[in-house]
Amino acid sequence: MVIMLSVSCRTIYNAEYTKTVMADPKLSKRARLLHKQLYYASKEGIILGHQDSPGYGVGWKYDAAVHAFESDVQKATGDFPGVYGFDLGHIELDKTHNLDTVGFASMRKNILDAHEKGGVITLSWHLNNPFSDGSSWDTISAVDKIIPGGAYIKKYEHWVERLAIFVKSLKHKGKGIPVIFRPFHEMNGNWFWWGDGNCSPSDYVALWKQTVHLLRDKHRVHQILYAYSPNIVDSEATFLKYYPGDAYVDILGIDIYDHDDSEAYAKNVRDNLKILSNIAKRKNKLYAFTETGSEKIPNEKWFTEILYPNIQASGIAWILFWRNARESHHYVPFPGHKSETDFIQFCKSRDILLLGNLQTIDTQ
């Protein structure tokens, strides 16, 4: 993927970009290039992303035998997302499928396809509670038990090893496919076992640093960019409450959903993206809208009237809409949806970048 900029713009942006410090000093050439290209992209527009595309959509699911590259975004607009979100939940349990029934073998094929087409890969991780063996949403305290000194640290280390093996298996022409890894997201909410009230900020930071050290130093995974993304915040202090430090983060993000209150959502987006931008610019970090959407999209003009005015010129590198699981749980229009026309209009905005706006290049 490459964004075409004028020579003068590239000169200016290159001077800014040289100040960037990466979380992995041994980061692969491909991953460094991806980060730089995302930086350029943020100067031109916002790359559109979708979770679990092309794994499934409303009324269809990826068929490994046919191996067709599909997406509800493409079915509605004629073009594919530029960013592809995948979740690694249950990789820690050595399962064949993730928590949303996506096969890891199929996921690997889809990641390769998306990468070859010039797409950007993001990975979240809804991992089980390592203490209770419940889901990510089992809020029994566990973080203090898997950081140094904890009784379950070996179990967690084994889980990270399984994740590392999967990520290292993501290859194109023999070299690792670069990925953006966004673990332990929305930590300022209380709905995950790593969230607010379920662990202390200092324990969260210890968990984050331990995870980076295991992946980067022990397992030598050097194709990862690390993204930190709280849920809605009310200040810079709240955003940074669990922040593990500049040396452990490459990308800053924020997750905001419209829970049937578009007026509140619009204000949250405006305020939070401003907070995000201020912190990112001060820290010289790339930043993105890492999760968003309005479930079932009840507002027919949601994309053009609620979302777009509040993300335009925000500087975010990408926006990721959540998954299209079924008619009762989706965040992007599918053919025949009442907001399909509005979504198409949104995607035609000059600064909204789909896969067709990006170009593949030789990253070797």
Residue 21 is predicted with a pLDDT of 86
Strands 175-176 and 56-57: unpaired
Q: Is 265 annotated as a binding residue?
A: no
Selection from 107, 67, 64, 60 nearest residue 87 by Cα: 107
Specify the pTM.
0.95
Mean model confidence pLDDT for the chain:
94
**Among 9-13, 16-20, 51-55, 244-248, the least confident range:** 9-13
Is 186 annotated as catalytic?
yes
- Assign 266 to helix, strand or coil: helix
Residue 1 is predicted with a pLDDT of 55
pLDDT of 19 higher than 90 = no
Q: Is 191 annotated as a binding residue?
A: yes
Q: d(Cα 267, Cα 232) in Å, to the nearest integer?
A: 11
Helical pair 29-44 and 7-17, crossing angle rounded to 10 deg: 120
Catalytic residue among 70, 92, 186, 340: 186
Is 157 annotated as catalytic?
no
Mean pLDDT of 29-39: 95
Residue 121 is predicted with a pLDDT of 98
123-170 residue pLDDT tens: 999 999 999 999 999 999 999 999 999 999 999 999 999 999 999 999
**Using 50, 70 and 90 to split pLDDT, how confident is the model at 9?**
low
Mean pLDDT of 42-53: 95
**Using 50, 70 and 90 to split pLDDT, how confident is the model at 178?**
very high
Helix (H) or strand (E) holding 43: helix 29-44
Catalytic residue among 291, 305, 327, 340: 291
86-135 residue pLDDT tens: 999 999 999 999 999 999 999 999 999 999 999 999 999 999 999 999 99
51-65 residue pLDDT tens: 999 999 999 999 988
Q: Classify domain 7-357 at the CATH class level.
A: alpha beta
Q: Is 126 annotated as a binding residue?
A: yes
Q: Are 221 and 167 in contact (CB under 8 A)?
A: yes
Residue 67, CA distances (Å) to 10, 55, 106, 126, 282 in order: 38, 10, 9, 26, 44
